[in-house]
A and B are shown apart, each in its own frame.
Chain A
Amino acid sequence: MNFVNKEKISGYQLFSLLLISRLVSASLLNPTFNLIKTPALSWVNEIIAGILAIALVGVIVYLGQKFPDKTIIGYAQILLGSVTGKILGVFLVLSFFLVAATDMRILGETLITTILPEIPILVFIITTLILVAWLSRSGLEANGRVAGFLMPMMIILLLLIGALACICSISDFSYLSPFFLPEGPRELILPTCSSLSSYAHFLVLGMIIPFVNVPSKSMPISIGSILMVAFLLTLQSLIVTAFFGPLMNTLTFPTFVLAQNITLGDFFERFEVMIAVLWNVSAGIKAALFLWAAAVGLAEILNLKRYDPLIYVLGALLVPISMLSYDGLMDVINVLTGSMIVFTISFVLFILLTLLIAFETRKYIEGRDSNGAQG
């Protein structure tokens, strides 16, 4: 794979890409909220999911660091053999492609539901995808720079909206008590899995690690990004619960409605506009990242020397796929709160466990052989 050494991103850019990729789904739709039965404890599942995500990312980075110049598709072919590795690679490419398509569809559905209902969704998807494909074709380095520029603004904006919501007279923090689950801890399983399934998108890290300028820093940076995401999502859960109380699990776009209802002194209003700008840019960065990962993966499977010619082709394919994959917003929510959770977690566990077992078995055999040779 000769394109790995052509572009490099810094640790800060890796942190920014991972953080935006996870936060964008929470700032648009937050399907996890729709699965919560006891809003007062909605923050608990975000903490549990964050802890589990650290284990997940730990395995991805561990394997990535063992093959510092190979993507996950590249070392899958070494560990599992060329044919099996390529089959697994095809599934990975399809998953990256599907994530980008879903991201675009959610962005389109969000914009037509909340801001511009008269404009056809296709207009948003096509115009955004033109920019996404352009950014993606410019390479990971360009996307990393954009993400690095946007990430602080995203965090500041989310914290600002959170702070404003806290001082808004509507907020009632008594909704954060009691610490009690009427149906017991099993209530937390589904929302935690839902949040974890969004962290599963960090599988793309397996494609990014060889492009990080200091691969050894990938582990602390990835864990740091998860901790930051978990902190922000926990904060979001607390604030949305204090603001909406028992209504929080009925909302389709919690962050948007929260920003829409913030009013300070009847003067500072319409914060939802800032949220809408955030949606567009951050969803574009995430889609560009996954489109890039799909193109790089496909180039590796097909043994191509360059991946960039594939970008526009895949980008064009994203339009029909994102349109045909879901019937509408209700379908998106139904899928994200149902089959997608099971599919995503099983898929990621299957991929990672397969690669981890293959790697450890190979290491054991190699160790035994070298010991045998010495003996």
Chain B
Amino acid sequence: MGLRANVILVCLLLPCLLCCGCRTAGFDIEELGFVQISAFDRTDDGLIQVSVQIAKPFAITSSAGPPIDEKPYWTVSSTGQTCYQAIRNLSTQSPRIIFWGHNRLTLLGENMAKSGVSEVLDLLQRNHEVRSSMDVMSVRNASIDEVMATMFELERQPVKGFFGLLWSIQRRNSTSFPQSVLELSRKIETEGMEPVIPSVEVVNRSDEETAAPGQLREEVVMDSVRINGMAAFKEDKLVGWLADRESRGVLWVLGKAQRGILVIRDPRDDNNLISIRIGASSSKIVPEIVDDRPVIRVVVEAEGDPLEIDGDASFLHHPEIWASMERRMAAVIRNEIQMALTAGQQQFQSDIFGFGRAFYSKYPHEWQLIKDNWDNIFPTLEVQLDIIANLKEPGLTVEGVRQAQ
């Protein structure tokens, strides 16, 4: 190729250098509004309501900068016949193009969850901007407007507050477990397995004292949120709420209960309580066919450390007391699983434990025969529990402070 042709080619390609930059969907970054949290619900007249929190970059300060008395986000809502129409209707209020690439959390309103969330999931998975690894939560006993209006005492941006709660509940309590949009969609599509996602509710603090003497700067947080157990689904519809201990029961079966506190009674005196910190745990779902009927055996192994002992704490030379505490720990775990089984099998009739999926994995041929009838089999399915509890570390002392007689 001659020199002239090369020069022409370079001249043709040079304009490409002028086209590069931070342009998404044809707009500069200054023209975009970054969604941090989105919420979807269905209104009483059947429309889809979308509410989003958009970051206000000019109101976000670094720790070194002066404080700004302005919320670092803007909450805006709109409605439409479909989710996408509702999203596009947001543009009648937003001077910036709404960009979904940084959306980290999606909240599902109660009406929407009860009527089916497949429409929202389809939107979130089809849109190229959205990452379906974002977390999803279900709103309980409140509207999405109420949840989006809440604030956190320790975080200026609600998205950070929600993530802090999710992290904390997973690492400290194991009464809920983060789920992404992708995981929710995957479980809906999986035969023999139904999804559970964290549920969030509003904590009303409007009557609480907000002013404290000596405070230099007062910030009033009226309503906040808390994570309260999990929402149980059947296919794409919400069928009920799991309380904290029921949720942990589900997580024991799924092998996701990693942290939290179990309270047992002292084997020597039922009036005294002992706090046990849950350590590592694992579970195994073993499907069996006994007398031509499916039976499930769940084996849970859990470790724990006694953290707080009310009363006589001298276990050092009493291995039988240690063993008794382990049995009581196992009994507490068994109770929590039983509570979850009752909720799942009788109350919701939804296989949130994935027992059907376990059957399919071990007995794929037999599963083909029973899968269409699984909804009728599951509520009366026999579930045997084998709980193995081990207490490990006594902490920094082997004996506690002597109690007064």
Chain A interface residues (CB < 8 Å from chain B): 113-119, 127, 130-131, 134, 137-138, 170, 172, 174-175, 177-178, 180, 182, 244-247, 257, 260-263
Contacts and interface: CB of A to CB of B under 8 A. Distances in A.
Interface in B113-143: 128, 131-133
Interface stretch (B268-276, B325-333, B356-364): B356-364
Given A178-B364, A246-B190, A130 B12 contact: yes
Contact of A244 (B1, B186, B365): B186
B118 to A, nearest CB: 13
Contacts of B185: 247
Contact of B25 (A118, A131, A257): A118
Contacts of B190: 175, 245-246
A333 to B, nearest CB: 15
B382 interface: no
Nearest to B362: A178
A249 B238 CA distance: 26
A130 B13 contact: yes
A178 B25 contact: no
A172 B190 CA distance: 12
Contact of A247 (B12, B25, B189): B189
B37 to A, nearest CB: 15
Contacts of A174: 357, 361
A263 B357 CA distance: 27
A119 B23 CA distance: 11
B180 interface: yes
Contacts, number: 59
Nearest to A181: B364
Contacts of A131: 13
B18 interface: no
Given A130-B9, A178-B364, A170 B189 contact: no
B26 interface: yes
28 contacts: A114-B128, A117-B25, A117-B128, A118-B25, A130-B12, A130-B13, A131-B13, A137-B1, A138-B1, A170-B182, A170-B183, A172-B186, A174-B357, A175-B190, A177-B361, A178-B364, A244-B182, A245-B186, A245-B190, A246-B190, A247-B182, A247-B186, A247-B189, A257-B132, A260-B131, A260-B133, A261-B131, A261-B182
A131 B13 CA distance: 9
Nearest to B371: A182
A127 B16 contact: yes
Greatest chain A CB density within 10 A among B128, B132, B361 is at B128
B49 to A, nearest CB: 26
A115 B186 contact: no
B368 interface: yes
A130 B1 CA distance: 14
Contact of A118 (B26, B133, B360): B26
A118 B189 CA distance: 32
B26 A119 contact: yes
B364 A180 contact: yes
Interface in B181-207: 182-183, 185-186, 189-191
A17 B318 CA distance: 72
Task: Give the dominant DSSP class at B's interface.
Answer: helix
Given A177-B361, A246-B190, A261-B132, 20 more contacts: A113-B128, A118-B25, A118-B26, A127-B16, A130-B9, A130-B13, A131-B13, A170-B182, A174-B357, A174-B361, A178-B361, A244-B186, A245-B189, A246-B189, A246-B191, A247-B182, A257-B132, A260-B131, A262-B133, A263-B133
Contact of A115 (B128, B189, B365, B368): B128
Nearest to A260: B131
A261 B186 contact: no
A366 to B, nearest CB: 44
Nearest to A180: B364
A177 B185 CA distance: 19
Of all A-B residue pairs in the complex, the 9 with the closest CB atoms, nearest first, are A180-B364, A118-B26, A261-B133, A246-B189, A245-B186, A178-B364, A177-B361, A178-B361, A114-B128
Contacts of B357: 174
A165 to B, nearest CB: 11
Contacts of B133: 170, 260-263
Greatest chain B CB density within 10 A among A113, A134, A137, A246 is at A246
Contacts of B128: 113-115, 117
A177 B354 CA distance: 14
A186 to B, nearest CB: 16
B32 to A, nearest CB: 13
A262 B16 CA distance: 30
B123 to A, nearest CB: 14
Contacts of B16: 127
Contacts of A257: 132
Contacts of B360: 178
Contacts of A177: 361
Contacts of A117: 25, 128
Contacts of B361: 174, 177-178
Interface in B328-366: 357, 360-362, 364-365
Contact of B365 (A114, A119, A180, A260): A180
A244 B191 CA distance: 14
Contacts of A137: 1
B391 to A, nearest CB: 28
A187 B357 CA distance: 21
A171 B1 CA distance: 50
A150 B183 CA distance: 34
A130 B180 CA distance: 42
A102 B25 CA distance: 25
Nearest to B1: A137
A182 to B, nearest CB: 6
A177 B364 CA distance: 10
A157 B252 CA distance: 37
B133 to A, nearest CB: 4
A25 to B, nearest CB: 20
Nearest to A179: B364
Contacts of A113: 128
B139 to A, nearest CB: 23
A362 to B, nearest CB: 41
A217 to B, nearest CB: 31
B316 to A, nearest CB: 39
Nearest to B126: A252
B197 to A, nearest CB: 14
Nearest to A38: B364
B303 to A, nearest CB: 21
A115 B128 CA distance: 7
